Structures are given as C-alpha cells and as structure tokens.
C-alpha cells in the first residue's frame, strides 16, 4: 500500500467510526453530536461538533470528509466548504479518491 492509499484508508476508518456515532445519535434523537475528525493523521483525537443534517450532507458524496480546520492536506484534497466549526474537504488525488470510494460504507446509487 502506498502513502496515499494509507492516508485514504485512515480517513475511511474515521468515517466508519462516525457512521456508528451518527447511528447512535439518531437512536437518541440528538440534534447534533461530536464526530471524530476524518483527517489522515492516525493519532488525531480532535472532535467536530455538527448536526446530523450537516453530517448527512458530507456523507452524500463518498469523496467528501469532515475535518477540524487546519487538518486538511493540500496534496490530496481541497476545502469545498468552511463551516467555521469544521471544514468539508473533497479528495482530489486519484489513488485517494479510488480508495475512499472503494471503502465507502454506504451504497452508491449505482450499487442500489
């Protein structure tokens, strides 16, 4: 696995953790919750407060991720939305895009 694929796999792992957090928040009818930062740093422990609606907007595209401001990495992604509390980034690097799409826990419209 190359460096880009390793970073994408880390981000996909954090996305999977956030999927479980969102499921739990939905069960308890929480309006917002704390998600983990979905950056490529395996040691990151930062949290992002977002509503479930905001989280769902990010999850609409398997190449977008929720990050703490300043955790974006310009060589693999670009900021597509700055919400103040968090940023939404889109993966641009080909190997990273392929990896995060392959590891997407949600079915894409073509898979349904």
Euclidean distance between CA atoms 28 and 21, whole angstroms: 11
In the numeric block, which tokens belong to residue 46?
A: 């930062």
Helix (H, G, I), strand (E, B) or coil at 9: helix
Phi, psi of 79 (to 5 degrees): -75, 125
Is 32:50 a contact under the CB 8 Å cutoff? Answer: yes
Helix (H, G, I), strand (E, B) or coil at 110: coil
Angle between helices 94-102 and 3-27 (to 10 degrees): 40
pLDDT the model gives residue 37: 98
Please give the chain's pLDDT, 112 residues, in tens: 799 999 999 999 999 999 999 999 999 888 889 999 999 999 999 999 999 999 999 999 999 999 999 999 999 999 999 999 999 999 999 999 999 999 999 876 554 4
Query: What residues does 48 pair with on adjacent strands?
Result: 35
Euclidean distance between CA atoms 1 and 96, whole angstroms: 11
């Amino acid at each position: 696995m190359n460096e880009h694929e390793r970073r994408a796999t880390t981000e996909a792992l954090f996305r999977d953790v956030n999927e479980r957090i969102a499921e739990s928040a939905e069960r308890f009818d929480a309006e917002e919750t704390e998600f983990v930062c979905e950056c490529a740093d395996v040691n990151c422990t930062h949290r992002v407060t977002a509503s479930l609606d905001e989280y769902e907007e990010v999850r609409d595209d398997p190449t977008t991720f929720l990050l703490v401001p300043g955790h974006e990495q310009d060589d693999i992604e670009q900021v597509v939305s700055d919400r103040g509390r968090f940023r939404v980034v889109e993966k641009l690097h080909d190997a990273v895009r392929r990896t995060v799409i392959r590891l997407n826990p949600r079915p894409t419209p073509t898979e349904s």
